[in-house]
Amino acid sequence: MTRDEGTYKAQGERAAKAGTRREGTYKAQADRAAGNAAPAEKATRRRTKMVAPPNNYLVPERDALLTPVLECRHLGIDFGGLKAVEDLNLMVGKTEIAGLIGPNGAGKTTVFNLLTKVYQPTRGTILLDGQDTAGMDTARVSREGIARTFQNIRLFDSLTVEDNVKIGLHNQVECGMWSGIFRAPRYWLSEQEFHKRALELLDVFNMADNADDIAGSLPYGAQRRLEIVRALATNPKLLLLDEPAAGMNPVETEELMDNIVKIRDQFQIAVLLIEHDMDLVMGI
Ligand SMILES: Nc1ncnc2c1ncn2[C@@H]1O[C@H](COP(=O)(O)OP(=O)(O)OP(=O)(O)O)[C@@H](O)[C@H]1O
Ligand SMILES: [Mg+2]
């Protein structure tokens, strides 16, 4: 992805200055007009005031004095002769929801692969919460706080919904091999904790009732949501969502966007999402 191929952050300077960001979407407005009151717990989308700290990147005002959760400087990767990502500069504030947009093949997914260390960059630096991630591998950046979903859903299809979430939880629990093999009290304790936590997380998307369902049997939209819950289970500081609304119908998409705002508010994390639908990105 080159600088010319797209705006990297949907809340880019021009849009923010022009005040073109919308607080809600057309459906929400239509619902209100039709008297369909939104549920009380529905996330309210607020206009975020963006400010430019000394380094000239725009971040939400509330994050301006905090170390950005992500900073990419002159990031690039070549695949043979192909410069898939070239000179990407990006900053994401601690509780910011940012969008990565660009045409097909621009290098958006490759950026996620760089951030999660599926690939090591050919050039440039990635700072996570101020820490240089050079030399880190995928497992390490996961522990340090980056979680992702995939453009094509990757769940453990034959496992239950709850077990898929527990897999995400595993990177935070210290349960040694022996306590696992002998099912020591500590093992049971963490199993109980896992169960409770998995249900809490599923509840974010009202999916606790699906805990025992086989993941592969869920409808497509629910599988996409489950993937987000599993990513959340790793306790990230930064959640990367690769086209989370792909294949969803407009109602599901609208709910998803509300839920992304809710997740940010509840977990106080940052979200970087890839999305083709500009309206949708600008809506949050
Ligand atoms: N492992 C790889 N080896 C060689 N080329 C690759 C590799 N991964 C990605 N590319 C190339 O890098 C470019 C960017 O691909 P990428 O998947 O990041 O695009 P994208 O912006 O996510 O596109 P889309 O919107 O279609 O998902 C493409 O030309 C792709 O073929
Ligand atoms: Mg892609």
Domain parsing of the chain, residue ranges: 3-34
* 256 close to 244: Cβ distance less than 8 angstroms: yes
Atom of ligand 1 nearest to the CA of 119: 1
Locate 8 and state its tokens. Answer: 């990297």
- The pair phi, psi for residue 264, each rounded to 5°, is -60, -45
- The pair phi, psi for residue 95, each rounded to 5°, is -125, 35
Distances (CA, A) of 5 to 35, 86, 103, 150: 42, 10, 7, 22
Each residue's pLDDT tens digit, 7-19 = 445 444 333 334 3
Cα–Cα distance measured from residue 196 to residue 218, given in angstroms and rounded to the nearest whole number: 21
Locate 223 and state its tokens. Answer: 């599988």
Residue nearest atom 10 of ligand 1, based on CA coordinates? 84
Residue 27 is predicted with a pLDDT of 39
Locate 280 and state its tokens. Answer: 């949708």
* 75 close to 119: Cβ distance less than 8 angstroms: no
* 127 close to 133: Cβ distance less than 8 angstroms: yes
Comparing 141-150, 187-196, 233-242, the range with the smallest average pLDDT is 187-196
64 confidence band (pLDDT: 50, 70, 90): confident
Q: Ligand 1, from 110, 243, 275: best to mutate by most atoms within 8 Å of Cβ?
A: 110
